[in-house]
Amino acid sequence: MTAEAMGLRERKKRQTAMRIWQVAVRLFSERGFDNVSVQEVADAAEVSKMTVFNYFGTKEDLVFRPMEEHFGDAARAVREREPGESAVQAVRRQFLAMVEARDPSVGLHSEPFARQVRQLVVDTPVLMERAFLSSQQGTRDLAALLAEETGDLMLATVAAAMLSAARNALVEEHHTRIAAGEPVDRVAADAATRAEQAFALVERGLENYARRT
């Protein structure tokens, strides 16, 4: 198969996955997560039930799979940090870049669909549990990475919890303010300043912990 054909095939696969995801979120939001079957999602997306499961392993994955990688963002920032850069600096730099890009994962995207996904999760206990467990796994992964470098799992766990808490608090503030009626542009305008304040608080506690040499 040529590279061009492979590229076209991958684009079609992504388009199919995106269509299934958007249809699923719409149906779940309209009727409730527990009241919509995978077969109904498949019918509405004009694919087979098997195709849905080929792209999304479980019903919960129909909501989470496209965004679950973001639970590992902090660990990824630390893993890829530059020489001389501390763990706090790496996570702050990544978060500020996501703020500038108005990444949906940090709650600053104006697209209504992104808000719809979040509301669906908030309104559905099983999805809230999945979000909590995924977030906790991201923090554990970050702790394991830091422990591997520093040799101290206890302190690594403390550091990971602090970094995750700062990120989560910032994202939650974005969502809360926008849900209260503030324009996205106004929230985004001071998001960088708020991020600097949050990570400065963490940095004063962690200082030079895990600075790469």
**pLDDT score at 27:** 97
Q: Within this chain, do residues 79 and 46 fall inside the same structural domain, yes or no? A: no
How far out from the chain centre does Cα 62 lie? 15
Q: Within this chain, do residues 177 and 201 fall inside the same structural domain, yes or no? A: yes
- Using the 3D structure, point to which of 63, 85, 110 is the last residue of a domain: 63
| Residue 48 phi, psi dihedral angles, 5° rounding | -80, 160
Contact 106, 98 (CB under 8 A): yes
Helical spans, DSSP H, in the chain = 3-31, 38-45, 49-55, 61-64, 73-79, 87-100, 112-123, 125-150, 153-179, 184-189, 191-206
pLDDT in tens, 62-84: 999 878 889 999 999 999 999 99
Measure CA of the first residue to CA of the last residue in the chain; give whole Å: 45
User: Which residue stretches of the chain have pLDDT < 70?
Assistant: 1-6, 209
CA angle 50, 51, 55 (to 5 degrees): 115
**pLDDT score at 213:** 74
- Using the 3D structure, point to which of 44, 63, 82 is the last residue of a domain: 63
**pLDDT score at 208:** 73
**pLDDT score at 5:** 57
| Residue 83 phi, psi dihedral angles, 5° rounding | -55, 135
Separation CA 196–CA 93 (nearest Å): 10
Provide CB contacts within 8 A for 149, sequence distance 6+.
210, 212
**Hunting for tokens 């309209």 — which residue is that?**
30
Separation CA 4–CA 20 (nearest Å): 24
- Asked, for residue 211, whether it belongs to a domain, the answer is no
**pLDDT score at 83:** 92
What CATH number is given to the structural domain containing 11? 1.10.10.60
DSSP state of 104: G
- pTM across the whole model: 0.84
Q: Within this chain, do residues 75 and 58 fall inside the same structural domain, yes or no? A: no
Look up the domain containing 108 and give its range: 68-206
How far out from the chain centre does Cα 154 lie? 25
Three-class secondary structure of residue 41 per DSSP: helix
Separation CA 102–CA 114 (nearest Å): 12
- Asked, for residue 52, whether it belongs to a domain, the answer is yes
Q: Within this chain, do residues 47 and 133 fall inside the same structural domain, yes or no? A: no
